[in-house]
Amino acid sequence: MSRLSVNFAGIEFKNPVIPASGTFGYGKEYERFYPLSKLGGISVKGTTEQLRTGNLPPRIAETPSGMLNSVGLQNPGIDHFIAEDLPYLKTKDTVIIANMAGSTAEGYREVAEKLDKTDVDMIEVNISCPNVKAGGAAFGVSCEGAAEITRIVRAATSKPIMIKLSPNVTNIADIAKAVEAEGADAVSLINTLLGMRIDIRTRRPVLHNNMGGLSGPAIFPVAVRMVYQVANAVRIPVCGMGGISTWQDAVEMMMAGASTIQVGAAIFADPYAPVKIAEGMEQYCIDNGINNISEITGTVQPW
C-alpha cells in the first residue's frame, strides 16, 4: 500500500491507521482476525510506573452513538510491558507506540526513562491523568500542566514523543502550542470527553466512578473541529482520533489536518475496523487519482 505510506514525526508508517490506546490491548487477541502487520502502527495499552488494577465495575456502558468508560488505566506496569509485551510486539512488522501515563510528574519521568532504553518507535504521552499533588486536576487541562509533563518527558528520552491532548479544555490550540514549545514531536487528539449517565431505576450513575470518558461516533464532529484548530495552530504533525468508524471518517479527519489517525471505539463493534478503514482509504486514493494519502492532509477549504 505505497499510496498509504506516511512519514509521521520522522517515522515511516506503511499506512496512517493506528488502533488507539486502550482499545487494542497489546494486539494479541486480534491476531486471530488478521496479521498485525496490516496496521500502520499500534498504540498499546496505557502504561504506568506500577501495576494498576483499575476502577471498580461497572466501568463501561453503552450510550447512544458511543460508550462511556472509566477503566482507570488498568495495566501490568512498565517493567512487565518491557519484559513481556514489547518483545512480542516488535516481531509484528508495524510501528509500536508506547502510550504512557502517570499520577505525578515523577511517575512520568520514571516511565519515560525506562522506555528510552527500549526499542519502541514512539512514545504517546497521556496528559489527561489527574495530578494527585494538585488536587486531582488533570495535567492536560492547563497550558502549564501540559507543558510541565512535556518538558519532563522530553528531558527523559530522545525518542519521538506525541502528546495526547484532552478535549476537556477551554482552548485546545493553546494547549497544543504549549507542548510544541516544550519539544513535543507530534500531538494526538482528541482523548475522551467527560460524560455521565444515570440509571433512572436505581438513581445511580451507570459507572461506579460516576463519570467517565465518552467515545464513539457521537464525538466525531468535536474531534474534527479540534483537529482542524490544532493543525492550524502548530507546525508539528497531528494524529487525529475521536469517533472514527469508517474510511470516510478517516479521510475527513485527514482533510481537517491529521497526518495519521487512530481508531478506538469502532474496534469494539468490529475488530476488522482498522483494516477496513485502510483498505477504503487505498481505494479512495485510486478512485481519485491520489498518489499518496498525505496529499489530502489539511486540504479542507473553509468558506
Q: Give the start-to-end residue ranges of the domains of the chain.
A: 2-296
Tell me the pLDDT tens digit for each residue of 101-110.
999 999 999 9
DSSP for the chain, written as a single string: -GGG-EEETTEEESSSEEEPTTSSTTSGGGTTTS-GGGSSEEEPPPB-SS-B--PPSP-EEEETTEEEE-----B--HHHIIIIIHHHHTTSSSEEEEEE--SSHHHHHHHHHHHHTS--SEEEEE--SB-TTTTT-BGGGSHHHHHHHHHHHHHH--S-EEEE--SSSS-HHHHHHHHHHTT-SEEEE--PEEE--EETTTTEESSTTS-EEEESGGGHHHHHHHHHHHHTT-SS-EEE-SS--SHHHHHHHHHHT-SEEEE-THHHH-TTHHHHHHHHHHHHHHHTT-S-GGGGTT-----
Look up 129 and say whether it is catalytic. yes
pLDDT exceeds cutoff 70 at 267 = yes
Instruction: With cut-offs at 50, 70 and 90, classify the pLDDT of residue 132.
Output: low
The confidence score (pLDDT) of residue 143 equals: 97
Class of the domain covering 2-296: alpha beta
Q: Which of 129, 143, 239, 285 is catalytic?
A: 129
Across the chain, what does the average pLDDT equal?
96
Q: 195-228, pLDDT tens digit by residue?
A: 999 999 999 999 999 999 999 999 999 999 999 9
